[in-house]
Structure 1
């Protein structure tokens, strides 16, 4: 099998869009393939429906499946409900999980 870059799935609350973006940039510049939350609310966007949130949550679990490991972006140690579910899923599937801040 040919060598390939490491794949890291970033998890964390989209309220930390700047921190998520900074982690994505740092990993990408280090030669890592990054999969991350792809929909963050901005001022001009229409609200995301509950159905869309559910679908995006399921999609993010598939991103974890693709990854070699998970990096949780958790400024101040914050881990919300969705991120907690993603951490549990990653651990249940044997993915190493690390955090940007102590929990």
Structure 2
């Protein structure tokens, strides 16, 4: 057994919040440490969105790999940026649906 569990960062559109929660549950029960986008029921300002986007890139930096939750193959602008960051930093990336 490794010294620590694998760390996976979940990425995906906010519209797939339930699917990301399901992936989080599945990975957690499999013994994985999961980092995921922050969730809020409130509207966020442009400044807050910029800060949250930057924070999520740091979460990718912490992870061993990235899981993109993309039902139907959908990947939006923010998720595309996160995938690009993960690729630039050499993180393995997997998708829930073919792209």
Question: Considering the TM-score relative to the shorter chain, is it more than 0.5?
Answer: yes
How many residues align structurally?
A: 98
Q: Partner residue of 1:22? A: 22
Quote the RMSD (CA, aligned, Å): 0.9
Q: Partner residue of 2:5? A: 5
Unaligned runs of at least 5 residues, structure 1: none
How far apart are the structure 1 equivalents of 2:94 and 2:84? 12
**Once the 2 structures are TM-superposed, how far is the Cα of residue 39 of structure 1 from its aligned partner?**
1.9
**Once the 2 structures are TM-superposed, how far is the Cα of residue 98 of structure 1 from its aligned partner?**
0.4
Name which of 42, 56, 71 aligns with 2:52: 56
Structure 1 residues 76-91: aligned runs within 5 Å: 76-91=72-87
TM-score, normalised by the number of residues in structure 1: 0.92
Moved beyond 6 Å, runs of 4+: none
How far apart are the structure 1 equivalents of 2:78 and 2:84? 10
How far apart are the structure 1 equivalents of 2:14 and 2:87? 21
**Once the 2 structures are TM-superposed, how far is the Cα of residue 49 of structure 1 from its aligned partner?**
0.3
Q: Partner residue of 2:71? A: 75
